[in-house]
Amino acid sequence: MRQAPQDMLRLAERLATAAAEVTRLQSGRIAASRKPDDTVVTTVDHAIQQRIVDAIRGEFPDHGIIAEESAALDEPLPDAAKARFVWVIDPLDGTRNFAAGLPCFATAIAVLDRGEPIVGVIYEHNLGLLYSASTGEGAECDGRPIRATADAEYHDHLVGIPSSKDDFAVGVLRAWAPKKGVIFRSLGSASVHLALVASGSMSAALGIQAKIWDVAAGAVLVREAGGRITAPDGRDLTPFDLTADPNHNIPFLAGSAKAHPYFLDTVRGISGRD
């Protein structure tokens, strides 16, 4: 059975791109419901996820799967903790944007090897941009190499910030705000923020209430583009603990090789981190 990362990458690219076929059928505001954690979900999230899961089961039946909307699937997912390779799926990162008619949302798909991300794909539906990477092969956007090279010597720092308003997030933003050239951007999608860091469009991105499906694909992209992604205190973010509750928060700080330490210095020591 095929187990090569490039086979997994090609499948992830096809599935992420095909997800846009579902969102293109919608327009304007979309009916949404609330999950127990108060986050938003739509039937479109469920439809995209079912397509992706079915395809992975068909191609790689021995692989584990972690999916954001797993409760809505037709069948239970295989145990991720017992498989070497595990797919991590966010069918629609930016569901609030999608439901409100705000055109910024993406599908993110990653593959982990014993908890370490080795394949990452993020497809932004509205711009039609496909970001993809696999370990040791570099990162691309629509087939063109990308690098995480946004640095303050040449222009302002555009920094992706979370929508959360907890004490830690507020403390970090207050520490960053006085820095010359730091410009905040909050697009409502952690995956899109990470893709933009990998492409050099953003210098850095902070996530606080991110989950494994928000981070896994972007982690591969940022690293393969020459950037860094860690916990906000500088600790290693991976390998992910696949025995943990997937709804557990995975805070992160990502940036170019120069920007990451620049922002990390101000994050360390700020109180309020979980």
pLDDT at 274: 44
Each residue's pLDDT tens digit, 133-185:
999 999 999 999 999 986 655 568 899 999 988 899 999 999 999 988 899 99
Largest CA distance in the chain: 55
Each residue's pLDDT tens digit, 14-29:
999 999 999 987 755 5
Which range marks the domain in which residue 19 is found? 5-145
Whether residue 19 contacts residue 73, with contact meaning beta carbons closer than 8 Å, is answered with: no
**Same-domain status, 200 and 167:** yes
72 versus 266: which is more confidently predicted? 266
pLDDT at 72: 56
Q: Is 273 inside a domain boundary?
A: no
269 versus 12: which is more confidently predicted? 12
**Same-domain status, 235 and 125:** no
**Same-domain status, 118 and 182:** no
Q: Is 104 inside a domain boundary?
A: yes
**Same-domain status, 50 and 141:** yes
Residue 9 CA, chain-centre distance (Å), reads 16
pLDDT at 27: 58
Confidence check: pLDDT of 186 > 60? yes
CATH number, position 198? 3.40.190.80
CATH number, position 87? 3.30.540.10
Rg of the chain over Cα atoms, rounded to whole angstroms, equals 17
**Same-domain status, 223 and 127:** no
Whether residue 166 contacts residue 38, with contact meaning beta carbons closer than 8 Å, is answered with: no
Q: Is 152 inside a domain boundary?
A: no
d(CA 101, CA 95): 10
Task: Give the count of domains, the chain.
Answer: 2
Task: Characterize the bridge pairing of strands 85-93 and 64-67.
Answer: parallel
d(CA 198, CA 202): 8
Q: If you average pLDDT over every residue of the chain, what do you get?
A: 90
Answer whether the bond into residue 246 is a cis peptide, omega within 30°.
no
**Same-domain status, 126 and 218:** no
**Same-domain status, 12 and 79:** yes
Q: Is residue 159 helix, strand or coil? A: strand
Show which of 145, 177, 192 is a domain's final residue: 145
**Same-domain status, 126 and 254:** no
Show which of 100, 119, 145 is a domain's final residue: 145
Q: What is the DSSP letter of 82?
A: G
Task: Characterize the bridge pairing of strands 204-207 and 252-255.
Answer: antiparallel
